[in-house]
Structures are given as structure tokens and as C-alpha cells.
Structure 1
Amino acid sequence: MTSTQPVSSIRNIACIGLAACGLLLAGSSLAADKGRAQIEAQYQAERAACNNGTSNEGKATCLREAGAAKEAALRGSLTDPGSAQLKENAMKRCEGLPQINRVDCEKRMNGGGIADGSVREGGIFRETVTIIPGKPADSQ
């Protein structure tokens, strides 16, 4: 009995290993199916917005972009930028300005001043007020 015990133990370990691999594969398949279902639900929601006019672009463009986003999501190349990436993008908008204007731009991008408008209205207007003292007029 001792000579067959190691063989059956190895066989049991192999069976347990195969069962564990099967469970992992089944779990990843379920996760992939759930991911596909979420992608499809997002796509349908975007199409509905295109069709009912609540998107911020023309219908043809909206439908084309919704389809492109779905394909990118299925390939795994569609990402959602984090807050750090969004912040970096906002600051890049100020890079092309002269230094004197860049300071105010960075204040606006960091939430300073007031903001009005929306994408739907054509843009967000951000305003800061900087008082620059003038030179006194020459007295005569």
C-alpha cells in the first residue's frame, strides 16, 4: 500500500491543480463576458444620446465616435484618464502663453476665478481678474 500511495497523492495533486486552473479560466471568461456586457451597455447609452440629441455633437459624428469607442474598449485600448492626467492636460493649455499670462491661466486651470458656460454652449469661459496698478499721469 505504501508503494501506490505516492502515485495516488501525485494524481490527486494534479487533479486539484487542473480543477484550480479550470476555475481560474472560468472566472476570467465570466469577467470577460461581464466586461463585454458593460462595453455594449455603454455603447447603447452613447447611441441613445446620439439619437435623442443630448450629445454635444452632430448625430453622424456622435455615432461614428460611439462605434470607435466601443471598438477601442473591446481591444482594451480605451482608457479613462485619472485626475492627475486631467490636471496635466489642463496645465498644458497654458504652456504656449507668455509667462505674464501663464500665471493667470494656471490659476484658472486650478479652479481660481469664475467659470461659466458648458461644452454644449460652445465652451467654458474661465475668468480671473488681475489688477495691475497704472503709472500716475505726469502733473503739469
Structure 2
Amino acid sequence: MKRPGFLPSAPLSLALASALFTASTLAMAQPSPAADAHARYEQERQKCMTNNTQDSLATCLREAGAAQDAARKGQLSNPGPQAADNATQRCSAFQNADEQAECVRRVNAPASGSVSEGGVLRESVTTTVVPQ
């Protein structure tokens, strides 16, 4: 008389073990949002401690902590295309079509600089030929 076993057959148990191993490996490879927020906080804190910002130490640490809290709550976002759309909409303040076009060209031009350097610098060079 055959008794039903509690262990599955060898090929099935090998496949099951392999699937569990793969799932656990993938879970460990994906950093949690909290771990990512903590890593970002540590980087910002290091910048504060090396006086690599324009803010005072207290302000820098307070801002880093606030950013970490917001990241944990899922309140940080990357504005991406929305920010670009807002920038081009601000060009509508110019009445002249040429000035609006120039504004849009400046907004879409490559920028240099950073917050630690004091802001973003956009340069626009326009060559005008004067008739003689």
C-alpha cells in the first residue's frame, strides 16, 4: 500500500526551491523606499558635515531630515515635464512674439550651475546684423 508523502517529487521541489531563492534574491536587490531615503539622507548629511553647502550646519541638517521624512511618506516627486511646461508658460508674459520665442529658446537651452553654486545659469546669445 502506497502512502501519500508529504514531500513533493524531486523535480517539483527543485523548481519550488529555485523559485523561492529567485524571489528572495530579487526582494533583497530592490532597496526599500525607506532604505533609499536613509541613503540619500546620509549623503546629504555628509555634505552638511563637510561644509559643502551654502546653508549653516543646523539649517542643512534640518533640511536633510525634512527631505528624509518627506521621502518616507512618498511626498517627494520629480516634476519632470510639468516643470518644463510651467517654464514655457511663463514666457507668455512677453507681449512680443519674438520675445516669447526667445524666452522659450532660453528655457529649453542647456543650463549650467547648481544650487550649491547659487543657481542655474542660462545663457542666450543672439547675433543681430545691422544693415549698413
Give the alignment's TM-score, normalised by structure 1: 0.56
2:69 aligned partner: 71
Q: Please name the residue that 2:109 is paired with.
A: 111
Contact 2:33 2:71 in 1 (8 A): no
- Radius of gyration: which is bigger? 1
1:53 aligns with 2:51: yes
Q: Is the 8 A contact 1:108 1:128 kept in 2?
A: no
Report how far residue 110 of structure 1 moved. Answer: 1.5
Query: Equivalent residue of 2:123, what SS?
Result: strand
- State which drifts further: 98-107 or 42-51: 98-107
SS in 1 for 2:32: helix
Which structure is higher in RCO with an 8 Å CA cutoff and minimum separation 6?
A: 2
| 39 and 91 in structure 1: CA distance in 2 versus 1, 3 angstrom threshold | same
RMSD: 3.4
Normalised to the residue count of structure 2, the TM-score between the two structures is 0.59
Q: Identify which of 79, 82, 86 aligns with 1:85.
A: 82
Please name the residue that 2:14 is paired with.
none
CA distance in 2, matches of 1:101, 1:90: 14
Q: Which stretches in structure 2 are left out of the alignment for 5+ residues?
A: 1-19
Letter paired with 1:85: Q
Matched with 2:60 is 62
Structure 1 unaligned residues grouped into runs of 5+: 1-22
**Structure 1 residues 127 and 78: CA distance shift in structure 2, 3 A:** same
The alpha-carbon deviation at position 96 of structure 1 amounts to: 2.8
In the aligned structure 2, how far is the partner of 1:52 from the partner of 1:89? 35
* Percentage identity across paired residues of the two chains: 37
